[in-house]
A and B are shown apart, each in its own frame.
Chain A
Amino acid sequence: MEPIYITGAGIASAIGIGKEETRESLLKGKTGIRKIQYLQTQHHEIPAGEVPFSNAEMAEMLGISEEPRLTRTALLGRLALREALQEAQLTSEMLHHVHFISATTVGGMDRRELFHAQEENCDKAHAIIAAHHCANCTEMIAEQFGHFASLSTVSTACSSATNAIITGANMLRCGMADIVVVGGAECLTKFHLNGFNTLMILDQQPCKPFDKNRAGLNLGEGAAYLVMESAESVRKRNVKPLCTISGYGNRCDAFHQTASSPDGEGAYEAMKEALEMAGLTPQDIQYINAHGTGTPNNDESESHAIKRVFTEKLPPISSTKSFTGHTTSASGSIEAVICIQALEYQFLPLNLNWQTTMDEGIIPVTDTRPSTEIKHILSNAFGFGGNDSSLIISKYDV
C-alpha cells in the first residue's frame, strides 16, 4: 500500500505535557504513577497515572478561562491537539480540509459525577453538562482550533484511539480525505476507577507488566493525536514526515466481555493482519509496544499471541503503561506517539518494575539502548469485549 505519513504528533500524560517532556521521562525511567491528587475519590490506596495539573492550570496553559462545562478530557485533548497541529503546521484556516477523528469512552463523566446527586432538580445548563456524550467531547476538544471538515468519534473502550487511527487511515487511503487528525483523550473519573476496582484488576502498587507477580493495572489519563496525510498532501504542503503508518489490523477476540482468550486469538489475528498489510515479516519488527496492562489475564494472553506470531525470535517488548498508567481510550494514540519518539530518537522504551519472568514468559526491555536500528514498531491495543487492534509505525526513510 501507499504509506500514510505522520506529519505531527502531540501528547499529554502523567509523564509530561508534550513530546519533549515525555521523551525525557521515558529515557530517565521516570514514572507518572503516583498517589491520586486531583480526582475526588476515597480510594487513596490506589495509585494512578494522573496528569499533575489541576483543570485551572491546564486551562491557563491553553490560554483559556475555566468554565464549568469544560471537561478534563477536553483540556487534556486540547493540549495534545495543539502540539500536533503546530508540528504539522496546520493553521486554523486550513482545518476545513482536515477531518478529525477522536476517541473516548468516559468522555465528560468527570463533570457529571460531581453533581449527579442534584441532577433531578438541575437547570438546563447543568442538564446539558450531564447529558454530555462522546461526540460532545470531540466537539469540545476541536472548538478551540477552528472548523474541521468533519468530526467523528470512535468508542471501543481501551482500543478506541487505535481504531480512530485506523478509521483515519482508511479515509486517506480511499481518497475521502487528504489530511486527518486522529487519536483519543480520556481523563480519570470516579466512574471507571471504581468500575475497574470492582473488577479487582487494579494493582495497589505501581503496576508490573509481564512480571510473574503482577497484580493488575494502574489507570492513567491523557490524550494524544497524530496528523496523518497522503503522499500527495505531504508533497503539496512541503512538510517533513516524522514517520509512516505502514500497516494496521483490527480483529475481534470474540471470547468474553472483560477477559482475553487464553491463546489471544483476536490479538494474534490483529498483529498478523497488520504485518501482512505492511508487507513485513515478524523479523522486520525491532520493537513491540505491548498492550501490557499488568493484569494476570492480559499479559498472559498477549504473551501467547505475540509468541504465536513471532515464534521464539522475539524483538524487544515493553509496556509503557508502567510509565503512564492505562490511559484507556487514549492509550492507543499515547503509545503511538511514544513509538514515534522511539523511532525518531532511536531508543527502546523501558518496562518499569519488572523483576521476575512469567512461566515461559517474555523478558521485557530493561535497557533503552537498541542493539540494531529501529525501523518498524508494532503497537498493540486491546479493548473490553475483545476489540483488538495493532498498528505498525515505520521510519520515514526506510
Chain B
Amino acid sequence: MNPKKVYIQAAEQISIQQPLSEEWFSAPIFYHDGFVPAVNPAFREYIAANEARRMGNLIKRALVTSLKVLRKTEIDHPDAIITGTCIGSLNCTEKFLQALTENGEQTLSPTYFMQSTHNTVGSTLGIYTKTHGYNTTYSHGEISFDLTILDAWMQMQLGKISTALVGGHEEMIESYFKLLQKTGYVGLDGMAPCSEVAMSMMLNTQPHTEDLCEIAGIRICNHTSADSLNDCIDSLLHEADLCREQLCAVMTGKNGNPANDKQYQEFANSVFPQTSLLHYKHIFGENYTVSALATYAAAHCLKEGYIPPFLYDTDRKEQCASPQNILLINQTKGQEFSLILLKKI
C-alpha cells in the first residue's frame, strides 16, 4: 500500500483567544483566573438567530468553526465528520442530572436529555450540513481529538475517504470546574486556566495552495515501558523518513500542574534533550480536548514558517528559525500517549 499524504487544508478555532482568528499568533491574551470561558464570536454571521437560540455553546461553537472551514475549503459535504469530545454536552448532562436530583423522577423534560449524548455535536454537524457520510465520535479523555485524526488518517490510507472534517470540542461550566478542581486536574495555583475549545479542521488527501501543513503520521500508545514509547516514536519518524536529530521541535501539553508536567519533562529530557521545546496550554488553557489546539497552533507555525517566541519553553535555549516539522505529544495520566507528526509543505 502506497502511503497517502494527508494535508490540513484549513482550521478554525474558538477558544480563550480571539475567536475565528489568528490574532493569538501575534498578540496572545494571557489569563490569571482558574476558569476562563471561551470568547464567543458573532454567531449570527453563521447561524440564524432562531436556530442559535435552541443550541448550547458547545454546539454553536462547533457548528461555526465547522461552517467556516467548509466555506473556506468549498467542500459542502466532506466524506467523513469525525468528532472528539471527552465530556460532550456537559451543560445539558448536568442540567438533566440536577433536575433528577432536585425534582425526582416524575417531572422531567426531555430537552436536556436529548442533547446530552456525546455524539450530539457530530450528528448536529451532519444534520445541519445534510452530510450523509461517515460520522463518528471519540470520547477518550485527553486524546479524544487525537483519535479523530487517527481515524481519518487510517481511512485515507485505506482509500475509503479523501476529505474529513475533524474537530475537538469541549465546554465547561463553573460547577463542573469546581468538581475537577477537587480532583486536582485543573484550578491549581500557577496552572494554565481551565478553558473551553471548539476547533474544526479539514483533512484532505489532495494538496491545495492554502494548506497549512501535512500530517506525516500518528500513533496512539499505552505507556507500558520506556521502550514501548521509544519504539512508537521511532516507527513514526521512520515512516516519515526522519531521524530524531532532524526533528525541529516538540510541542508538549505542559500546563503548570506538577503531576501533568512531570510526564512531559521526563519524556523531553530523555528522548529529545536537544530539540526545541514548545508549549501551548499557557495560551489556550487546559481542558480535555485542548490538544486540538496543539495541532491547530503547530500547523499555523509551519504554514508561517515561524514559531512565536512565547511558545518556546523558557528553560531551553534551542530555537528553530525555520521549522520544517513539529512533533506533538499529548498524554493522559502518564498512561497513554499520542504522537502526531506535522510537516511543512
Contacts and interface: CB of A to CB of B under 8 A. Distances in A.
Contacts of B224: 96, 147, 149
Given A163-B136, A195-B116, A258-B114, A152 B220 contact: yes
Interface stretch (A11-19, A29-37, A166-174, A290-298): A166-174
Contacts of A387: 119, 122-123, 135-137
B119 A153 contact: no
A38 interface: no
B140 A138 contact: yes
A149 B179 contact: no
B139 A133 contact: yes
Contacts, number: 211
Q: Is the interface of B mostly helix, strand, loop or mixed?
A: mixed
Contacts of B137: 154-156, 387
B58 to A, nearest CB: 14
B87 interface: yes
B34 to A, nearest CB: 15
Interface residues of B, number: 70
Contact of B105 (A151, A190, A251): A190
A252 B87 CA distance: 22
Contacts of B184: 124
Contact of A198 (B109, B123, B144): B109
B53 to A, nearest CB: 16
A170 B158 contact: yes
A195 B96 contact: yes
A199 interface: yes
A269 interface: yes
A135 B113 CA distance: 21
B140 A152 contact: yes
Given A150-B336, A387-B137, 17 more contacts: A105-B118, A116-B98, A131-B185, A149-B228, A150-B220, A154-B137, A154-B139, A155-B118, A156-B123, A170-B158, A250-B135, A250-B136, A251-B133, A255-B127, A384-B123, A385-B117, A387-B135
23 contacts: A42-B104, A42-B106, A113-B101, A124-B182, A124-B183, A134-B140, A135-B141, A135-B144, A149-B228, A152-B220, A154-B136, A156-B118, A157-B119, A166-B136, A170-B160, A174-B1, A192-B113, A250-B136, A252-B123, A254-B129, A254-B130, A257-B123, A258-B114
Interface of A: 41-43, 96, 105, 109, 112-113, 116-117, 119-120, 122-124, 127-128, 130-131, 133-136, 138-139, 147-157, 163, 166-167, 170-171, 173-176, 190-192, 194-199, 250-258, 265-266, 269, 383-387
Interface of B: 1, 81, 86-88, 96-98, 100-101, 104-106, 108-110, 113-120, 122-124, 126-127, 129-141, 143-144, 147, 150-151, 154-155, 157-158, 160, 175-176, 178-180, 182-185, 220-222, 224, 228, 288, 332, 335-336
